[in-house]
Amino acid sequence: MPSITVNVDDDLKDRMEQHPEINWSEVTRQAIQEKIETLDVMDELTSGSELTESDVAEIANKVNESARDRVEEKSE
């Protein structure tokens, strides 16, 4: 099985070492697997799309703006 190296800062490493019962390699492998599965779904959903990256960014900005507006309305 191939190996990869993951860099973490000193603070995170210290915190990880406080939990020697955790198999951090397995946690990392699972996180990568979940991300790949999400990307696969996104690729499948967008495979027939004619949207450009700038179109997607514009839509994302509108969604984020709308969500911010709703949060602000609830807090008033």
Instruction: Note the pLDDT of residue 62.
Output: 92
pTM summary value: 0.62
55 occurs within a structural domain: yes
Q: 5 in a domain, yes or no? A: no
Per-residue model confidence (pLDDT) at position 53: 83
The reported pLDDT for the residue numbered 56 is 84
pLDDT at 74: 79
For residue 45, how many other CB atoms are within 10 A of its CB? Answer: 9
The Cα–Cα gap between 73 and 76 comes to 5
Q: pLDDT at position 27, please?
A: 97
| Positions in the chain short of pLDDT 70 | none
Beta carbons within 8 Å of 22's beta carbon, 6+ residues apart: 16
Indicate the number of domains in the chain: 1
Domain that holds residue 58: 10-75
